[in-house]
Chains A and B, each alone.
Chain A
Amino acid sequence: IQMTQSPSSVSASVGDRVTMTCRASQGISTWLAWYQQKPGKAPELLIYGASSLESGVPSRFSGSGSGTDFTLTISSLQPEDSATYYCQRANSSPPGLTFGGGTKVEIK
């Protein structure tokens, strides 16, 4: 199962609503995760089960979708949200659990 993210990068202003997508080559129900990675740091889990917010993650982040098409939305972009965001399929047992190519979010 391949995971494809778009766009590869997005530039937006503080306060903007930012949306990015992840598409699976086969249906994966809601078994999808989103991670945030800031430069020089390890990734952090943001969302699991396509729409469940990990503990401690700000409520401006939200996820939606099922089957093959998923969305990560930042409702009001903050300076600290400048990062690369990766989706990861989470279905079946762990063999694989492959990542998408990432979407880089930059602040204008």
Chain B
Amino acid sequence: EVQLVESGGTLVQPGWSLRVSCAASGFTFSTYWMSWVRQAPGKGLEWVANIKYDGSEEYYVDSVKGRFTVSRDNAKNSLYLQMNSLRADDTAVYYCARIRYSSGGYYRDFWGQGTLVTVSS
């Protein structure tokens, strides 16, 4: 059974740093692209970052470029999101998701339960 379990979300002050993690199990982690998606309170879904299965490519939404870094440890079946210079508008539930390649397209087929990051003074 595929499982993704996020952790590390908490309350931090503006300007602080935080790392959230995602522990994966039930599939061959090292063969899948992975993704972070966030959802601000009462808002829609926003993709944050994607990372290639071997960690050689990373992509970010413009609003987090230069502040957030996605990484992975395939030996530990873990995905990470390092968030620096946090702002109030980064407040959201952060989900990790597996990206499946199917018939030429890329689909987020399994999601974790999410971890809440709150940025407030």
Interface, chain A (partner B; CB < 8 A): 29-33, 35, 37, 41-45, 48-49, 52, 54, 84, 86, 88, 90-91, 93-102
Q: Is A99 in contact with B45, judged by CB distance below 8 angstroms?
A: yes
Q: Is A42 in contact with B111, judged by CB distance below 8 angstroms?
A: yes
Q: Is B104 in contact with A31, judged by CB distance below 8 angstroms?
A: yes
Interface, chain B (partner A; CB < 8 A): 33, 35, 37, 44-47, 50, 52, 59, 95, 99, 102-114
Give the interface SS of chain A, mostly helix, strand, loop or mixed: loop
Q: Is A43 in contact with B107, judged by CB distance below 8 angstroms?
A: no
Q: Is A48 in contact with B105, judged by CB distance below 8 angstroms?
A: yes
Q: Across the interface, which residues of B come within 8 angstroms of A45, CB to CB? A: 107-110
Q: Across the interface, which residues of B come within 8 angstroms of A42, CB to CB? A: 95, 111-114
Tell me the bound Cα distance from A44 to B113 in angstroms. Answer: 11
Tell me the bound Cα distance from A45 to B112 in angstroms. Answer: 13
Q: Across the interface, which residues of A come within 8 angstroms of B50, CB to CB? A: 94-95, 97
Q: Across the interface, which residues of A come within 8 angstroms of B109, CB to CB? A: 45, 48, 54
Tell me the bound Cα distance from A99 to B106 in angstroms. Answer: 13
Closest A residue by C-beta to B104? A31
